[in-house]
Amino acid sequence: MASIQQAVNGRHASRNTIMHALYGYFYLGLSKRRLATIYHKHINNISNWIQRFEVNNDYARRATRRTGQLSAEHREWLLDFYTKHPVAFLDEAKAAFEHRFARFISISTVWRALRQHGLTWKVLERRTMNIKINDIVRFTLELSTTKWCKMNIQFLDEVSFDNRGMLRSRGYCLKGKKLAFRGEFN
């Protein structure tokens, strides 16, 4: 229990907490000392929240004005890279970026740039699945145009596929590269 209280008490207050404290001060008439007791914050913090709200009419923290190390051209290149290679890992994007622009970039910077443009892991995964579905449809159409005879049919016994095999996993290899034949063929 003490570790939970320490984790809560030692952190910055969320926007929601600040909003509730301001509501308690302005609308419910609670004192600063009472609010400090309720939210486990120092009375100076409560006073700063109230003062900031009265001056700026906003309760958000000051935003940093740091723009980052990537220019608009660099960000566009990263977006284009992930448009062309949606299953690329972050370290592959980093290596391609360093090769293209001849400057160092960290993997976290690549991820931050993608997140700023709304490319979460889930979005990239959905794009990949869409591309894979298009490949399956194309492959099916190619197979349907083939005239089948006994010489070009290969039988596979007990084969199963799931959608997890269509994505790369843990950076080891592309799944589905090896095709294992088991059983006796005559």
Q: Over pLDDT 70: what percentage of the chain?
A: 70
What does pLDDT average to over the chain?
76
Please name which of 23, 64, 61 lies closest in space to residue 45, comparing C-alpha atoms: 61
* Position 156 pLDDT exceeds 60: no
This prediction has a pTM of: 0.43
Q: How far apart are CA 16 and CA 184, in angstroms?
A: 66
Sign of CA dihedral 112, 83, 140, 181: negative
Residue 69 near residue 98, CB atoms below 8 Å: no
At 77, which amino acid appears?
A: W
* Position 7 pLDDT exceeds 60: no
Q: How far apart are CA 162 and CA 153, in angstroms?
A: 23
Please name which of 6, 9, 35 lies closest in space to residue 20, comparing C-alpha atoms: 35
Confidence of residue 30 (pLDDT cuts 50, 70, 90): very high
Q: How far apart are CA 12 and CA 10, in angstroms?
A: 7
Residue 95 near residue 105, CB atoms below 8 Å: no
At 174, which amino acid appears?
A: L
Residue 114 near residue 82, CB atoms below 8 Å: yes
Q: What are phi and psi of 28, to 5 degrees?
A: -95, -10
Q: How far apart are CA 47 and CA 33, in angstroms?
A: 10
Q: 114: burial class by Cβ within 10 Å (0-12, 13-18, 19+)? A: buried
Residue for token pair 């910077």: 109
19 contacts: CB under 8 Å, gap ≥ 6: 59
Which tens digit of pLDDT belongs to each residue from 61-98? 776 666 678 888 999 999 999 888 877 888 899 999 99
Residue 51 near residue 36, CB atoms below 8 Å: no
Average confidence (pLDDT) over 171-180: 43
Confidence of residue 162 (pLDDT cuts 50, 70, 90): low
Length of the chain: 186
